[in-house]
Amino acid sequence: MSFIDLKGMLQPLGAVKQLFKKPHTIQYPYETNKASDNYRGLHFNDLDQCIGCGNCSTICQNDAIDMISLDNIDGKKGDSGLRPRIDNGRCCWCALCVDVCPTGSLNLTKDYIFVTDNPNDFLLTPGLDNPDAKDRLSYTCDMNTSLSLYDRVPMRELDGKERVKSFAEVVLGYSEEEARAEADRCISCGLCTEACPENMHIPEYINAIARGNDDDALRIIYDNNPLPEMCGKVCTRVCEDVCALQVRGEAVAIRWLKRYATETAPTVEMIKEIVDPKIEEPNGFSVGIVGAGPAGLTAAYYLALKGYDVTIYEAQAHAGGMIMYGIPKYRFPLESIDKQIQYMESIGVKIKYNTKVGKDITFDEIYTNNDAVFVGIGLQNPWNIGIKNEDSPGVISAIEYLKIINSDETYDVGKKVAVIGGGNVAIDGARVSARFGADVTILYRRRVEDMPADWEEIEGAEHEGINIVPQAIPTRIIKDEKTGKVIGIEYLKAKMVAEDGGRPRPVAIEGSETIYECDTVIGAIGQQADFDWLPENYKEDLIIERGKIQVNDLRQTGVTKIFAGGDSVKYGNSDAISAIADGFNAVKGIDKLLLK
C-alpha cells in the first residue's frame, strides 16, 4: 500500500464553498436565456420583400427548402409567386440561405425552442406561419455580409465630349475578363427568362460565359434569337428590370453579356461555324414575309431552318426595319446589321429589297403564291404633336429625322433643337442632333423618373450635354412671320397631380408660358402602323383594332394563312425583343398550320 497524500485527499473538499455561489444554470422559469443578437434560430421571411427567386432553396445543402405557391401571393414580372417553406426536420441552421438571399427578406430569429405534437408543424412557411417573429430577428444579412455580388462591372464608354463629335459606337463592350466577372454575379434564378418576351435562356448562356464557354453561350443564344447582336446592343432589356440583384444592388448586365458573346464571333463564317445551324431538308412549303424588321427576320430564320422556302419583301434598300432606320448608328452600327443579315441569307433566307408591297408587288400575289404569309410591318407613321404651326418647315418627327440620317442623307437642324417626348426615340433624336453640333433640349410632360426611355440612354444624353426639361407641356410652335420657319416653341410648366392614388398626371400651371427659342422641333410622341398597302378585303378579315392587328398566341390573324408580329400587332411591348418573340411564335403557328 503506497502512501496516501492527506492534502491531496482533503483539498478537493474545499469545493464545498462553491455552494454559496450563484450557479451557472438558469433558474427557469424565473430566469430565461437571452439569445444573442446573432443567433441562428427558426426562419422568418418577409413575404412582401421576397421575390421567390429560389436562391435559398438552391444553396440549401440539406434540401430543406421547397419553393411553394401561397394563396395570397400571385406571380408577376420579377416575382415567381413562390415562397420558401422550410422543413425544420432537415434544416441544419447553417444560414447559407440567409447569406445568399439577394433581397435580404430571409432571416433567422432568436426563437430557441419549438415544441409541437404535430409532425407536420416541422414544415414552416416563414413569414406566413410566424408573422410575429419579425420582431425577433437575429441572424440577418446586409449587403456587406451577403454572398451576392451587388456591384456591376462598369461598362467602358467613349467620353461624353468625345462621342458627340462622331457616330462612333459609344459603348465599347466588355473584355473577356470583365465579362467573366459580370457573368459570375448571376444567381441563375431565371426571373429574367420569365420576364423576357422571347423567354431567352438567360441563366444558361450567362453560366456558359462564366465558365468560359463562349461558343456554348452563342449557341444557346441563337436557339431562340437570331438577332443577338442587335439585342446585345439596343434591347430594352426588361430582364434586367426584374433581376433578383437589382432589388438591393445592380442588375446583372444581361444585355452587355449577350453583346460580349456575339463579339466572340466577329464574322459571318465564325457565327456559322460556332452555331452550326441544322437546316432541314426542304419541306415543300413556302412562306412570304412582308417587312424585314426583327419580327420578319426572326420568322424567316427559323422557317428557313425548318426547311421552308422563305422570301421577305422589304420596301427599303436595307433590311432591319426600325433597327436599321430608327436606331442611331452610335448605338447599333451598320456593320452589325449587315453581319446579321448576311448570316440570315447564308442559311437560305431570300430578301427582295426595294419591293414595296402594294406598289412593286401586290399582296394578293404574295398571298396566293405562298402557303402562309407573315406580316411584320412595324409602326412607320409618326403621331402628330397636335399643336399649332406643326406643319411649319423646321418641324420634323424623330422617326423621319432618324431615317434620313441613317440613310446617309442630310437634314440641317440648325443651332438649337427642341425634342418633344420622353421615350427612346426622343433620346435618339436628341443625341443625333447633338452629334451635328446642335444645342439640344428635351421637353417632357412628366418627371425624369417617369421617362419611358432606358435609364442608360437618359444618362448618356446628359453626359453629352443634352438638357432635359421635365414637366413641360408644349402649347404652340412659334414661326417667323416672313419665312414661315420655326423660331421657337412655347410650353407650359406642369405640376404632377395624383388622382385617386393613380399614376401622377401632369397638369399645366396657368400663366407659366415659357418660350424656348430653337431652329428645329423634333416630335417623338409615338408612331402608328401604315395599312394603306393592304387591300380592303384583307383589312376587314385581319381585324385591326386601335391601329393594331389582332392575333392569337401563335400570332395567327383572323385570316388562317396570315400571321403577324412586331410593333403592329397587339402582343407585348413595342420593342425589338417582343417582335422577335412574335416571329418565333409565328413559326410555331405556321408549323402547326402546315405540318399539322
Minimum distance from residue 93 beta carbon to other proteins (Å) = 7
Under the binding rule (CB under 8 A), the answer on residue 82 touching other proteins is no
Q: Which stretch binds other proteins (CB under 8 A): 29-37, 420-428, 496-504, 516-524?
A: 29-37
Under the binding rule (CB under 8 A), the answer on residue 12 touching other proteins is yes
Q: What is the DSSP string of 5-59?
A: -HHHHHGGGGGGGGGGSPPSS--TTTS-PPPPTT---SEEE-TTT-----HHHHH
Under the binding rule (CB under 8 A), the answer on residue 14 touching other proteins is yes
Burial 465-496 (b: 16+ CB within 10 A, else e): ebebebbbbbeebbbeeeeeebbbbebbbbee
Question: Which one, 7 or 546, has the nearer CB to other proteins?
Answer: 7
Specify the residue for cell string 440561405: 97
Under the binding rule (CB under 8 A), the answer on residue 37 touching other proteins is yes
Minimum distance from residue 242 beta carbon to other proteins (Å) = 18
Question: Which one, 13 or 498, has the nearer CB to other proteins?
Answer: 13
Minimum distance from residue 39 beta carbon to other proteins (Å) = 5
Number of helices and strands in the chain (H, E): 21, 23
The single residue among 187, 221, 244, 310 that binds other proteins, judged by CB under 8 A, is: 187
Quote the cell numbers at residue 84: 420558401
Question: Which one, 189 or 529, has the nearer CB to other proteins?
Answer: 189
Name the 3-class secondary structure at 337.
helix
The single residue among 49, 88, 125, 188 that binds other proteins, judged by CB under 8 A, is: 188
Q: Which stretch binds other proteins (CB under 8 A): 86-94, 156-164, 443-451, 569-577?
A: 86-94
Cis? peptide before 266, omega within 30° of 0: no
Minimum distance from residue 239 beta carbon to other proteins (Å) = 18
Under the binding rule (CB under 8 A), the answer on residue 213 touching other proteins is no
Under the binding rule (CB under 8 A), the answer on residue 279 touching other proteins is no
Question: Which one, 16 or 115, has the nearer CB to other proteins?
Answer: 16
Neighbours of 391 (CB within 10 A): 10
Are 394 and 415 within 8 A, CB to CB? no
Q: Which amino acid belongs to residue 276?
A: D
Q: How many angstroms separate the CA atoms of 54 and 320, rounded?
A: 39
Under the binding rule (CB under 8 A), the answer on residue 73 touching other proteins is no
Under the binding rule (CB under 8 A), the answer on residue 149 touching other proteins is yes
Under rule CB under 8 A, how many of the chain's residues touch other proteins?
47
Q: How many angstroms separate the CA atoms of 363 and 366, rounded?
A: 5
Q: What is the DSSP string of 461-479?
A: HHHTT-EEE-SEEEEEEEE
The single residue among 50, 53, 65, 100 that binds other proteins, judged by CB under 8 A, is: 100
Which H or E run contains 455? helix 455-463
Question: Which one, 247 or 315, has the nearer CB to other proteins?
Answer: 247
Quote the cell numbers at residue 221: 443564344
The single residue among 32, 69, 145, 267 that binds other proteins, judged by CB under 8 A, is: 145
Question: Residues in the site for other proteins, rule: CB under 8 A?
Answer: 2, 4-5, 7-9, 11-12, 14-15, 18, 23-25, 35-40, 55, 58-59, 61, 92-96, 99-100, 108, 138-139, 145, 147-149, 183-188, 207, 210-211
